[in-house]
Amino acid sequence: MDLISIIAQIIGKFWYLIPLAIIVAVLKSSWFKGIAGEFIVNLSTKLFLNKEQYHLIKNVTLPTEDGSTQIDHIIVSKYGVFVVETKNMKGWIFGSQNQKTWTQKIYKHSSKFQNPLYQNYKHVKTLESLLGLNDQQIYSVIVFIGDSTFKTDMPENVTYGGGYIRYIKSKNQPVLTDNEVNEITSKIENGRLVPSFKTNREHVKHVRTIVAEKVNHKDKTCPKCGSSMVMRETRTGQNIGKKFWGCSNFPKCSCIVNVT
């Protein structure tokens, strides 16, 4: 019996494991975790915030001077505009408002990631410029979704799960009129790029370009986990000898950036 026949028999006997493996892979993927996190935030907003007073706009890509910026959720109300960034992570989370990177610890393994408040800063400033708002009318909100625990005191706008609803409701003094709320909602809808696969692809390409530029300008921090980047060289294959920046946290983090 040849090898192909043996493989065919194995597949025929255990065929049900193939779709199961695919499902497991999808559930563990960062893509699915992102979708799940956004779904939880969307559902919580619809269930616990009055839709007559709070207007949810999700997955907003806005043009900027150097490309685009992508915002998970924007909630518009007379109590302010809330710019919500979701993080689906597990383990212990350590960080403070002014630290450039925070730490995620899972058992004995620790890794760095960008302070999400810094990440959301550009979103807030882009909206301030687009809408003509001041910092008393717009709020940055970070929501951690997943099996994670804060091990250091966090700013009040960094929350876990439904905590972001409590934070939003704590802002109970009107800072916008009903007309302004309607105008802001329209400006966002009219100013956003059309939600599509093409828009998302071009934004991802823009982000990768920025990451590469940062690395090539001596900012040797991994854009994925915050660890240091080290120069490496391809040892095999058609690209042998080609240099690239690789994360020092490999194999836990496999992020690489080409040298240009």
pLDDT tens column, 70-111:
898 999 999 999 999 999 888 999 999 989 899 999 988 899
Instruction: Measure the CA–CA gap between 229 and 244, rounded to whole angstroms.
Output: 10
- pLDDT at 116 (0 to 100): 93
Residue 207: the pLDDT is 45
- Whether cis (ω within 30° of 0) applies to the bond prior to 195 is no
Whole-number pLDDT of residue 62: 83
Mean pLDDT over 36-41 rounds to 69
pLDDT of 27 over the 50 cut: no
d(CA 69, CA 63) in angstroms, rounded, equals 7
pLDDT in tens, 9-20: 655 665 555 555
pTM above 0.85, yes or no: no
Average pLDDT of 129-147? Answer: 92
Rounded to whole angstroms, the Cα distance separating 199 from 229 reads 29
Query: 83, 141 in Cβ contact below 8 A?
Result: yes
Instruction: Tell me if 83 sits within 8 A of 71, measured CB to CB.
Output: yes
> Which of 135, 64, 114, 69 lies closest to 222 in space, CA to CA?
114
Question: CA-CA distance, 22 to 150, in Å (whole number)?
Answer: 32
Position of tokens 């100013």? 191
Mean pLDDT of 201-217: 50
**pLDDT band with cut points at 50, 70 and 90 for residue 203:** very low
Instruction: Tell which wins on pLDDT, 41 or 260.
Output: 41
Tell me what pLDDT residue 124 has: 93
Residue 46 has a pLDDT of 83
Q: Which residue type does 144 have?
A: F
| Per-residue pLDDT at 33 | 55
Q: What are the angstrom distances between the C-alpha of 14 and each of 4, 9, 11, 28, 213? A: 15, 9, 5, 22, 47
**What average pLDDT does the segment 188-196 reach?**
76
Q: Among candidates 75, 103, 76, 100, which has minimal Cα distance to 89?
A: 103
Instruction: Supply the pLDDT for residue 40.
Output: 73
Contact between 138 and 171 under an 8 Å Cβ cutoff? The reply is no
Question: pLDDT at residue 146 above 80?
Answer: yes
How many beta carbons lie within 10 A of that of residue 64, not counting itself? Answer: 14
